[in-house]
Structure 1
Protein backbone atom coordinates (compact mmCIF):
# COMPACT_ATOMS: atom_id res chain seq x y z
CA UNK A 1 0.00 0.00 0.00
CA UNK A 2 1.20 3.49 -0.78
CA UNK A 3 0.70 6.85 0.87
CA UNK A 4 1.79 10.12 -0.73
CA UNK A 5 2.24 13.02 1.66
CA UNK A 6 3.81 16.46 1.51
CA UNK A 7 5.53 18.30 4.31
CA UNK A 8 7.52 21.44 4.92
CA UNK A 9 9.00 19.83 8.04
CA UNK A 10 12.24 17.91 8.37
CA UNK A 11 11.56 14.28 7.50
CA UNK A 12 12.38 12.93 10.96
CA UNK A 13 9.85 15.35 12.51
CA UNK A 14 7.13 14.32 10.06
CA UNK A 15 7.84 10.64 10.67
CA UNK A 16 7.63 11.23 14.43
CA UNK A 17 4.24 12.88 13.85
CA UNK A 18 2.96 9.84 11.95
CA UNK A 19 4.30 7.54 14.68
CA UNK A 20 2.63 9.63 17.42
CA UNK A 21 -0.68 9.64 15.49
CA UNK A 22 -0.41 5.85 15.18
CA UNK A 23 0.36 5.31 18.87
CA UNK A 24 -2.55 7.60 19.83
CA UNK A 25 -4.84 5.85 17.32
CA UNK A 26 -5.92 9.12 15.73
CA UNK A 27 -8.40 8.92 12.83
CA UNK A 28 -5.82 9.76 10.18
CA UNK A 29 -4.92 7.79 7.06
CA UNK A 30 -1.47 6.55 8.13
CA UNK A 31 -2.54 5.89 11.72
CA UNK A 32 -5.60 3.88 10.69
CA UNK A 33 -3.55 1.80 8.26
CA UNK A 34 -0.82 0.91 10.76
CA UNK A 35 -3.33 0.19 13.52
CA UNK A 36 -5.20 -2.30 11.31
CA UNK A 37 -4.67 -6.02 12.00
CA UNK A 38 -1.54 -7.42 10.37
CA UNK A 39 0.16 -4.02 10.01
CA UNK A 40 3.08 -2.57 11.92
CA UNK A 41 4.70 0.86 11.87
CA UNK A 42 8.08 -0.89 12.04
CA UNK A 43 7.49 -2.32 8.56
CA UNK A 44 6.95 1.11 6.99
CA UNK A 45 9.39 2.20 4.29
CA UNK A 46 9.88 5.86 3.48
CA UNK A 47 11.00 7.37 0.19
CA UNK A 48 11.50 11.06 -0.54
CA UNK A 49 10.20 11.53 -4.07
CA UNK A 50 10.94 15.23 -4.66
CA UNK A 51 12.37 18.26 -2.86
CA UNK A 52 13.16 21.91 -3.51
CA UNK A 53 9.73 23.40 -4.11
CA UNK A 54 9.46 27.18 -4.42
CA UNK A 55 6.25 27.40 -2.41
CA UNK A 56 3.86 25.46 -0.23
CA UNK A 57 1.30 25.66 -3.04
CA UNK A 58 3.72 24.07 -5.52
CA UNK A 59 4.50 21.29 -3.03
CA UNK A 60 0.82 20.59 -2.34
CA UNK A 61 -0.10 20.65 -6.02
CA UNK A 62 2.68 18.17 -6.74
CA UNK A 63 1.41 15.95 -3.91
CA UNK A 64 -2.01 15.85 -5.60
CA UNK A 65 -0.43 15.01 -8.94
CA UNK A 66 1.56 12.15 -7.38
CA UNK A 67 -1.49 10.80 -5.52
CA UNK A 68 -3.23 10.59 -8.89
CA UNK A 69 -0.19 9.23 -10.75
CA UNK A 70 0.50 6.44 -8.24
CA UNK A 71 -3.21 5.78 -7.57
CA UNK A 72 -2.67 5.99 -3.82
CA UNK A 73 -6.23 7.07 -2.98
CA UNK A 74 -8.26 4.66 -0.84
CA UNK A 75 -9.09 1.78 -1.45
CA UNK A 76 -6.03 1.33 -3.71
CA UNK A 77 -3.71 3.24 -1.38
CA UNK A 78 -3.72 4.87 2.04
CA UNK A 79 -4.56 8.46 1.04
CA UNK A 80 -8.08 9.58 2.00
CA UNK A 81 -7.99 12.77 -0.09
CA UNK A 82 -6.73 13.63 -3.54
CA UNK A 83 -5.18 16.81 -2.15
CA UNK A 84 -5.35 20.40 -3.38
CA UNK A 85 -6.11 19.47 -6.99
CA UNK A 86 -9.00 17.17 -6.04
CA UNK A 87 -11.37 18.66 -8.62
CA UNK A 88 -8.91 18.10 -11.49
CA UNK A 89 -8.51 14.37 -10.82
CA UNK A 90 -12.02 12.97 -10.69
Structure 2
Protein backbone atom coordinates (compact mmCIF):
# COMPACT_ATOMS: atom_id res chain seq x y z
CA UNK A 1 0.00 0.00 0.00
CA UNK A 2 1.00 3.62 -0.47
CA UNK A 3 2.17 5.50 2.61
CA UNK A 4 0.78 9.01 2.77
CA UNK A 5 2.20 11.84 4.76
CA UNK A 6 4.69 14.65 4.91
CA UNK A 7 7.42 12.66 6.66
CA UNK A 8 9.64 9.65 6.19
CA UNK A 9 11.34 8.02 9.14
CA UNK A 10 15.13 8.33 9.02
CA UNK A 11 16.43 5.09 10.60
CA UNK A 12 20.09 6.09 10.89
CA UNK A 13 19.35 8.92 13.30
CA UNK A 14 15.91 7.96 14.56
CA UNK A 15 14.40 11.18 13.23
CA UNK A 16 12.04 12.18 10.46
CA UNK A 17 12.66 13.91 7.12
CA UNK A 18 10.02 16.18 5.60
CA UNK A 19 8.74 15.15 2.18
CA UNK A 20 7.85 18.07 -0.07
CA UNK A 21 5.20 17.92 -2.77
CA UNK A 22 1.94 16.18 -3.54
CA UNK A 23 2.05 12.83 -5.32
CA UNK A 24 -0.44 10.25 -6.54
CA UNK A 25 -0.34 6.67 -7.82
CA UNK A 26 -0.15 8.16 -11.33
CA UNK A 27 2.96 10.28 -10.60
CA UNK A 28 5.91 9.71 -12.94
CA UNK A 29 9.63 10.55 -12.77
CA UNK A 30 9.77 9.90 -9.05
CA UNK A 31 12.10 8.67 -6.33
CA UNK A 32 10.41 6.26 -3.94
CA UNK A 33 11.10 4.15 -0.89
CA UNK A 34 9.85 0.63 -0.22
CA UNK A 35 9.59 -0.56 3.37
CA UNK A 36 9.29 -4.04 4.77
CA UNK A 37 7.89 -5.09 8.17
CA UNK A 38 11.36 -5.51 9.68
CA UNK A 39 12.17 -1.86 8.95
CA UNK A 40 14.53 -2.21 6.01
CA UNK A 41 14.24 0.37 3.23
CA UNK A 42 14.88 0.23 -0.51
CA UNK A 43 15.20 3.45 -2.53
CA UNK A 44 14.35 3.38 -6.22
CA UNK A 45 13.39 5.57 -9.14
CA UNK A 46 11.08 5.29 -12.10
CA UNK A 47 10.13 7.35 -15.13
CA UNK A 48 6.84 5.49 -15.39
CA UNK A 49 3.71 5.63 -13.30
CA UNK A 50 4.57 4.65 -9.71
CA UNK A 51 1.55 2.31 -9.63
CA UNK A 52 3.10 0.28 -12.47
CA UNK A 53 6.48 0.15 -10.74
CA UNK A 54 4.89 -1.08 -7.51
CA UNK A 55 3.09 -3.80 -9.49
CA UNK A 56 6.48 -4.91 -10.85
CA UNK A 57 7.95 -5.14 -7.35
CA UNK A 58 4.97 -7.22 -6.21
CA UNK A 59 5.33 -9.50 -9.23
CA UNK A 60 9.05 -9.97 -8.48
CA UNK A 61 8.17 -11.04 -4.93
CA UNK A 62 5.42 -13.38 -6.14
CA UNK A 63 7.70 -14.95 -8.77
CA UNK A 64 10.67 -15.16 -6.37
CA UNK A 65 13.01 -13.21 -8.65
CA UNK A 66 16.59 -12.53 -7.61
CA UNK A 67 16.09 -8.81 -6.99
CA UNK A 68 16.92 -7.06 -3.70
CA UNK A 69 13.37 -6.43 -2.47
CA UNK A 70 11.91 -9.72 -3.73
CA UNK A 71 14.81 -11.73 -2.35
CA UNK A 72 14.53 -10.07 1.07
CA UNK A 73 10.75 -10.54 1.25
CA UNK A 74 10.93 -14.19 0.26
CA UNK A 75 13.90 -15.08 2.49
CA UNK A 76 12.31 -13.43 5.53
CA UNK A 77 8.74 -14.68 5.13
CA UNK A 78 7.24 -11.25 4.44
CA UNK A 79 4.05 -11.06 2.37
CA UNK A 80 3.18 -8.76 -0.51
CA UNK A 81 0.48 -7.12 1.62
CA UNK A 82 3.24 -5.96 3.99
CA UNK A 83 5.06 -4.00 1.27
CA UNK A 84 4.80 -0.22 1.77
CA UNK A 85 5.76 2.46 -0.74
CA UNK A 86 6.26 6.18 -0.26
CA UNK A 87 7.16 8.74 -2.90
CA UNK A 88 10.14 10.81 -1.80
CA UNK A 89 10.64 13.26 -4.64
CA UNK A 90 9.71 14.10 -8.21
CA UNK A 91 11.80 15.39 -11.10
CA UNK A 92 9.57 17.80 -12.97
CA UNK A 93 10.01 18.85 -16.57
CA UNK A 94 12.09 22.00 -16.75
CA UNK A 95 11.20 24.86 -19.03
CA UNK A 96 14.77 24.97 -20.32
CA UNK A 97 14.91 21.23 -20.82
CA UNK A 98 17.65 19.19 -19.23
CA UNK A 99 18.26 15.53 -18.70
CA UNK A 100 15.50 14.25 -16.41
CA UNK A 101 16.95 10.74 -16.35
CA UNK A 102 20.31 12.03 -15.12
CA UNK A 103 18.55 14.12 -12.47
CA UNK A 104 16.62 11.01 -11.36
CA UNK A 105 19.94 9.16 -10.96
CA UNK A 106 21.36 12.05 -8.93
CA UNK A 107 18.35 12.16 -6.64
CA UNK A 108 18.33 8.38 -6.24
CA UNK A 109 21.97 8.44 -5.09
CA UNK A 110 21.14 11.34 -2.76
CA UNK A 111 18.24 9.48 -1.09
CA UNK A 112 20.19 6.20 -0.84
CA UNK A 113 22.99 8.03 0.94
CA UNK A 114 20.67 10.16 3.08
CA UNK A 115 18.56 7.23 4.27
CA UNK A 116 21.54 4.87 4.50
CA UNK A 117 19.93 2.10 2.45
CA UNK A 118 22.96 0.36 0.98
CA UNK A 119 23.36 -3.31 1.78
CA UNK A 120 26.19 -2.48 4.17
CA UNK A 121 23.66 -0.73 6.39
CA UNK A 122 21.43 -2.69 8.76
CA UNK A 123 18.55 -0.56 7.47
CA UNK A 124 19.05 -0.95 3.73
CA UNK A 125 18.11 -3.14 0.79
CA UNK A 126 19.98 -1.25 -1.95
CA UNK A 127 22.98 -3.28 -3.09
CA UNK A 128 24.76 -0.33 -4.67
CA UNK A 129 24.15 3.00 -6.29
CA UNK A 130 25.51 4.73 -9.34
CA UNK A 131 27.76 7.74 -8.75
CA UNK A 132 28.42 8.38 -12.45
CA UNK A 133 25.82 11.20 -12.67
CA UNK A 134 28.09 13.19 -10.34
CA UNK A 135 31.18 12.74 -12.48
CA UNK A 136 32.00 15.13 -15.30
CA UNK A 137 33.24 13.86 -18.64
Same fold (TM over 0.5): yes
Is the Cα–Cα contact under 8 Å of residues 43 and 112 in structure 2 kept in the other structure? yes
Against the structure 1 CA distance between its residues 73 and 86, is the aligned structure 2 distance closer, same or farther, given a 3 Å change threshold? farther
* Structure index of larger Rg: 2
**What's the TM-score once normalised by structure 1's chain length?**
0.85
Report the equivalent of 2:51: 12
Unaligned stretches of 5+ residues in structure 2: 1-39, 94-99
Name which structure has the greater RCO, CA cutoff 8 Å, separation 6+: 1
Q: TM-score, normalised by structure 2?
A: 0.58
Greater helix content: 1
Structure 1 vs Structure 2 CA RMSD? 2.0
1:4-43 to 2 correspondences below 5 Å: 4-43=43-82
Q: Which runs of 5+ in 1 are unaligned?
A: none
Q: Is the 8 A contact 2:68 2:125 kept in 1?
A: yes
| Structure 1 pair 65–24 and aligned structure 2 pair: CA distance change class (3 A) | same
Runs (4+) of structure 1 exceeding 3 A deviation are: 84-88
